[in-house]
Amino acid sequence: MLTVHHLNESRSQRILWLLEELGTPYDLKIYARNAQTRLAPPELAAIHPLGKSPVITDGDVVVIETGAIIDYIIRRHAGGRLQPDPATADYDLYMQWLHYAEGSAMLPLMLNMYVGRLKEAGAPLHPRIESEIANHLGFINGALKGRQFFVGETLTGADIAMSFVAEVARAQRKLADYPLFDAWLDRMHARPAWKVALEKGGPYALGQ
């Protein structure tokens, strides 16, 4: 049985959403962040030495990293549902979004969060951080022109991977200038599986 080791208010919410969309059975273990530091509790490091979430276990197999987990679940537990046919160009685009979400898009948003904690001391870094955020959100918004989903005509793991980017951008009040990405997030929030995943994993409260 697949087990999702879920940290409250975190990226692992995406994995719950994926599993609810697929209707794949899973066990859920919830870990609570330290209220002061927001770090994961030490019990998570017993699952994987990084002590981060998401992490899944499947028998003896331990998988970390959102994109790899989405790929693993879709290949091993879903018969390839929620991804394009690997022989198609859509699959190449799908892989791009799966890697891009954490590999590129999250970096300036995370920098904004951490540098924001420096208050005035961080001021010299903000112009560069803001221009990088605008670069990425502009690219993402443009990619959604004329589309309901990131790839093809239906939901894929790419939408699931990209959801945390949208959540954090919205929490940082960055989405107003990117209406296609903003509206896409509203559409994802309206999905029944999203709502079930939120009930199980608990709401996001990602303010800085």
Ligand X SMILES: N[C@@H](CCC(=O)N[C@@H](CS)C(=O)NCC(=O)O)C(=O)O
The minimum distance between CB 14 and ligand X, in angstroms, equals: 8
State the binding string over 82-121 for ligand X (x if CB under 6 A, else -).
--------------------x-------------------
Taking the complex as a whole, the smallest distance from the CB of residue 174 to ligand X amounts, in Å, to 17
Distance CA 19, CA 26 (A): 8
- Residue 10 makes contact with ligand X by CB under 6 A: yes
Site for ligand X in 35-54 (CB under 6 A): 39-40, 51-54
Minimum distance of ligand X from residue 51's CB (angstroms): 6
**Burial level of 124, CB count in 10 A (0-12/13-18/19+)?**
exposed
| Residue numbers 170-199 binding ligand X by CB under 6 A | none
Angstrom distance (rounded) from CA 189 to CA 32: 23
Please, are residues 178 and 141 in contact by the beta-carbon 8 Å criterion? yes
Strand boundaries in the chain, DSSP class E? 2-7, 27-31, 55-58, 61-64
Q: 142 or 203, CB closer to ligand X? A: 203
| Torsion over CA: 120, 121, 122, 128 (sign) | positive
Binding site for ligand X (CB under 6 A): 7, 10-11, 39-40, 51-54, 65-66, 102
